[in-house]
Amino acid sequence: MNWKHFDEPAAIFALAPQPGGACLAATEQGLWQFDPRGGGWQPIAPQLAHVPLTAVAACGPTWLIGSNGDIAFSRDGGQNWQLANLPVKARVLGLVVSPQFERDGVALAATAEDGVLRSADHGVTWHAWNYGLLDLGINAIAVSPDFGEDATCFAASDHAVFMSVNGGRAWQELPAPMAAGPFTSLAVAMTRRGPTLYVGAEGSGLWASAAPYEAWQQIKGLRAGEVNFVLPGWAATTAGVYVAAGRRWRVALRRPDVVCMALLDDGALVAGTAGGGVWYGAAD
Amino acid sequence: MIAEAVKPTLGPLPRFVGIAGMSRDRPPELLDDAATIARRIIQIADPTADVGAMMMRHALWRMHETCGDGSATMATIAQALVQEATKAIAAGAHPALLRKGIELGLARASEALRAGAFRPTDGRRSHERLATLAKSACHDAELRDVLVEVVGILGPDGAIHVVSNHARCVDREYIEGAMWDSPWLTTGFATDAAQSVARISDAAVILLDGKLDSAVNALEGLKRLYGFGHRSVLIVAGDLSDEAKAALIQAKLSGAMSILPVKAPGFGATRAVALQDLAVLTGARVLFGDSAAFAQVAPEDVGSVRRAWATARQFGIIGGKRDPVALRSSIASVRRKIDETANLEEIAELRMRLGRLCGGLAIVRVGGATNKIQESRRDEAVRLSRMLQMAVGRGYVAGGGAALFKVAQSLLSDLSRSGDRAHDDVAFGARCLARALEAPLMTIAANAGFDPAEVAGQVRAALRADPRACYGFDARSGRVGDMLAAGIVDSAEVIERAVRVAGSLAATAITTDAVVHHRKPALATNP
């Protein structure tokens, strides 16, 4: 892969891919958009320029952003924004939308103290759905690629990984090794044998489990350390960004400060760093 | 006799059982529920047969109360088992050795049923299975649909509270967090006077076992909490004296702190348990004693919640600062107690506790055209929710008696392989059980108007051809096929319990040699 570094934007907390090889970034200085054809990163939504954002998700013209206390949504590609109705001022750590978001309007938010918030009306109103969620500090959340059919999603906390099979309304703890936590990131990959869940842990590397998620396997080939972010086939750790090559994983980018990633629809990878700026990797 | 009376109710095409009215001016009842039929039979004319009949009646009712289903299956297995064992005893087998064989067979059958149980891992299939199971067990579509939704959301551990509805319909309400039936200690702290509710957020939590009875100590405690940086506090106390109440209201009116005093739930041992659960959920330590303990409150005694609310009847907490290890340990302990206890009231209370600890409570409001109908629908809701939660928790097996038939074939095949001899009474006991496990499928076929022996032969042949499939008899279509593929399922736990209860009942019956009668036994209308 060919890697190119962009200094902007500032410290990045979350990325969301968009159609046409574009990408949105939630940064400590508001919302930014990446357009490879238009010359890199541009700040958008000037009204949000000084709001530190912690999460972003997008589907078509509907964009959702999370901050330390609020969730806001835009229906017109970021021009106008409205605050969503939340049950409590929640510190949002992650946002995901259903792959069928335009049809079902389901979005989920991971929060630092209030468990999982769920919206079924395209992000306008949110409710806490925490039945069975024994930990309310949720670090990461992910939905199954087949969410529209199987209604399955996952949440990771410091102590456990939880699964919901009813679209995020009730949760059950998966038999993950508790000593492996805190769990920092999640990704669900669809393989020939069905869905596989990847879980990144702070001290023990990357773990994988295939449905029905009863047994866990530690991924070999990654240097033990903190896994900051996982995507299907990619893992950002404190030792660098790894990529899966068949059953083996190899280092693709030796940068220890990558905290979030997004896989664009043209196959390129955007890796956001805590110190500011991104790495853009396109196929050779 | 009771088994004969309830067998026609087994299967998707049951037959009604007529029960004559208690007096001549009442019409006979036509029933299709095994447990209700058993409940109506309060005495058999032959006093010796009556002892066995009452044992069966009691077992049927227990199945109904604990599982909400499986009563007719249990009675069918028990009757077939007693008949098989009686034949063996007549042929010279020793009852004690037969019993031993039955018990060994029961252990293997339970293990096989548990191993064969499956739980759908995706939401759509899980919902479909649950809806199919509910449809086979309940004819009230409105009630069934609401309970499938509620159980689907709350899962096996959620607390489902069934109450009467003022309207005729069935409705549900989901309660976030944990809730106790214990009121606020004074109306003076309502934050929403119109709705008579008090709400606070990001609150410190104090758990006081005794009464907060001194104004001086109350103010001293509040001062300390203020010093720790808390500006909002939920006080759960045994009681509050007028003097302390006035001090708390004064502190609230000063605007320095938001205060919400609520009564500690329950009394005695139940209060200790409730306070312990609150401690686990909020990270607080229970202060034993009266207001002097509150005046000496230390930072490590204080828990926290994101939100708390109280009304004149209940209070609740949402998002407490929980200790993850203690919470999981408490949940495991409550689950163990549920498995161990036989007392239904205790099980209901433990389920409520589990719901609070897991953060799930739903209130199902059941209405009806008349009081009698409403009462009957409420009972049905309790029964159905129990059955559905068992199915969600422990999984499903092939329905229509197919899972039991398959286990029977496997037991018989094991016995043949081990070369049991005709005079080996222990092996004969296991063989009796295997034969009895075939009875539910054959009874379902007979109830649907088919020849049970012919159907059993077809299923055996199909299982021989493909031992991994779950062949059974679909009474609606009149065909032998894979029950799982046809979506015909039963709750694994209900079926396993039916087998265990039937085996235990039959084993007791065949080893009972003498019966002592009371001269004038009292009639029991309730089993």
**Ranges of each domain in chain A:** 24-253
Decide if A166 touches B, using CB distance below 8 A: yes
B330, B331, B310: which is closest to B236 by C-alpha?
B310
pLDDT tens track for A92-113 = 999 999 999 999 999 999 999 9
Share of chain A above pLDDT 70, in %: 96
Same domain, B184 and B318: yes
The pLDDT, as a whole number, for residue B527 is 66
Same domain, B315 and B386: no
Interface of A with B in 68-127 (CB under 8 A): 87-88, 113-115, 127
Which residues on adjacent β-strands are paired with residue B510?
none
B64, B78, B66, B65: which is closest to B1 by C-alpha?
B78
Quickly state the pLDDT bin for A199 (edges 50, 70, 90): very high
Backbone phi and psi for residue A271, each to the nearest 5 degrees, phi listed first: -120, 115
B366, B309, B410: which is closest to B166 by C-alpha?
B366
CB contact under 8 A, A158 and B328: no
> Do A234 and A267 form a contact (C-beta atoms < 8 A)?
no
- Is B362 within a domain? no
- Using the Cα atoms of residue B431, residue B434, residue B436 and residue B442 in order, give the sign of their dihedral: negative
Number of structural domains, chain B? 3
Interface of B with A in 356-395 (CB under 8 A): 358-360
CB contact under 8 A, B123 and A169: no
Same domain, B16 and B92: yes
Of A135, A164, A170, the CB nearest to B360: A170
- Is B344 within a domain? no
Decide if A1 touches B, using CB distance below 8 A: no
* CA–CA dist B319, B308 (Å, integer): 9
Strand pairing class (B198-212; B232-240) = parallel
- Is B294 within a domain? yes
The pLDDT, as a whole number, for residue B394 is 79
B473, B293, B122: which is closest to A154 by C-alpha?
B122
CB contact under 8 A, B153 and A131: yes
Of B120, B126, B319, the CB nearest to A114: B319
- Is B157 within a domain? yes
Is the pLDDT at B523 greater than 70? The verdict is no
Same domain, B303 and B196: yes
Q: Which residue of A has its CA nearest to B280?
A: A134
The pLDDT, as a whole number, for residue A68 is 93
Strand pairing class (B286-287; B159-164) = unpaired
CB contact under 8 A, A167 and B331: no
- Is B409 within a domain? yes
B470, B500, B456: which is closest to B403 by C-alpha?
B470
> Do B462 and B402 form a contact (C-beta atoms < 8 A)?
no
Of B123, B306, B359, the CB nearest to A165: B123
Same domain, B318 and B185: yes
Is the pLDDT at A129 greater than 60? The verdict is yes
Within 10 Å of residue B16's Cβ, how many Cβ atoms? 12
The pLDDT, as a whole number, for residue B329 is 93
CB contact under 8 A, A136 and B324: no
The pLDDT, as a whole number, for residue B14 is 67
Interface of A with B in 7-66 (CB under 8 A): none
Of A132, A135, A146, the CB nearest to B324: A135
Distance of CA A207 to the CA centre of its chain: 17
Q: What is the mean pLDDT of chain B?
A: 85
In angstroms, the separation between the Cα of residue B324 and the nearest Cα of chain A is 7
The pLDDT, as a whole number, for residue B423 is 53
| CATH code at A24-253 | 2.130.10.10
Amino acid at A193: R
Decide if B332 touches A, using CB distance below 8 A: no
**Residue of higher predicted confidence among B45 and B131:** B131
In angstroms, the separation between the Cα of residue B147 and the nearest Cα of chain A is 15
Of B122, B306, B328, the CB nearest to A88: B306
Is the pLDDT at B74 greater than 60? The verdict is yes
Is the pLDDT at B417 greater than 80? The verdict is no
> Do A106 and A167 form a contact (C-beta atoms < 8 A)?
yes
Q: What is the mean pLDDT of chain A?
A: 88
In angstroms, the separation between the Cα of residue B192 and the nearest Cα of chain A is 16
Interface of A with B in 213-252 (CB under 8 A): 213
> Can you tell me the mean pLDDT for B375-404?
85
Strand pairing class (B232-240; B258-263) = parallel
Of B119, B152, B324, the CB nearest to A166: B152
3-state secondary structure of A25: strand
> Do B232 and B202 form a contact (C-beta atoms < 8 A)?
yes
Q: What is the CA radius of gyration of chain B?
A: 28
pLDDT-wise least confident of A259-263, B10-14, B149-153:
B10-14
Same domain, B318 and B184: yes
> Do A65 and A75 form a contact (C-beta atoms < 8 A)?
no
> Do B206 and B317 form a contact (C-beta atoms < 8 A)?
no
> Do B107 and B115 form a contact (C-beta atoms < 8 A)?
no
- Is B518 within a domain? no
Is the pLDDT at B319 greater than 80? The verdict is yes
DSSP string covering B136-174, please?
HH---HHHHHHHHHHHHHH-TT-EEEEEE-SSSSEEEEE
Decide if B331 touches A, using CB distance below 8 A: yes
The CATH code of the domain that includes B235 is 3.50.7.10
Quickly state the pLDDT bin for B136 (edges 50, 70, 90): confident
Decide if A67 touches B, using CB distance below 8 A: no
Q: Which residue of A has its CA nearest to B323?
A: A135
Of B119, B306, B360, the CB nearest to A131: B360
Q: Which residue of A has its CA nearest to B320?
A: A136
* CA–CA dist A248, A254 (Å, integer): 17
Quickly state the pLDDT bin for B526 (edges 50, 70, 90): low
Same domain, B132 and B188: no
Measured between beta carbons, which residues in chain A are less than 8 angstroms from residue B125?
150
Measured between beta carbons, which residues in chain A are less than 8 angstroms from residue B307?
88
Strand pairing class (A107-111; A90-97) = antiparallel
> Can you tell me the mean pLDDT for B159-169?
86
The pLDDT, as a whole number, for residue A178 is 58
pLDDT tens track for B180-238 = 999 999 888 888 888 889 999 999 999 998 899 889 989 999 999 999 999 999 999 99
CB contact under 8 A, A165 and B122: yes
The pLDDT, as a whole number, for residue A65 is 96
Same domain, B190 and B294: yes
> Do A141 and A155 form a contact (C-beta atoms < 8 A)?
yes
pLDDT-wise least confident of B21-35, B83-97, B306-320, B508-522:
B21-35
Q: What is the CA radius of gyration of chain A?
A: 17
Quickly state the pLDDT bin for B35 (edges 50, 70, 90): confident
For residues B317, A122, A167 and B278, what is the CA-based torsion angle, rounded to 10 degrees?
A: -10
Quickly state the pLDDT bin for B283 (edges 50, 70, 90): very high
- Is B345 within a domain? no
- Is B298 within a domain? yes
Same domain, B283 and B270: yes
DSSP helix, strand, coil percent of chain B (3-state; round to 5): 55, 20, 30
> Can you tell me the mean pLDDT for B48-69?
80
Strand pairing class (B198-212; B286-287) = parallel
Same domain, B30 and B7: yes
CB contact under 8 A, A134 and B322: yes
- Tokens describing residue A44: 């958008």
Give residue B380's domain range.
123-176+369-394
Q: Which of B293, B322, B351 is the last residue of a domain?
A: B322
Of B122, B125, B154, the CB nearest to A131: B154
In angstroms, the separation between the Cα of residue B308 and the nearest Cα of chain A is 12
* CA–CA dist A165, A150 (Å, integer): 7
Q: Burial level of B414, CB count in 10 A (0-12/13-18/19+)?
A: middle
Measured between beta carbons, which residues in chain A are less than 8 angstroms from residue B319?
88, 113-115, 128, 130, 136
Distances (CA, A) of B325 to B41, B51, B279, B321, B330: 50, 50, 13, 12, 9
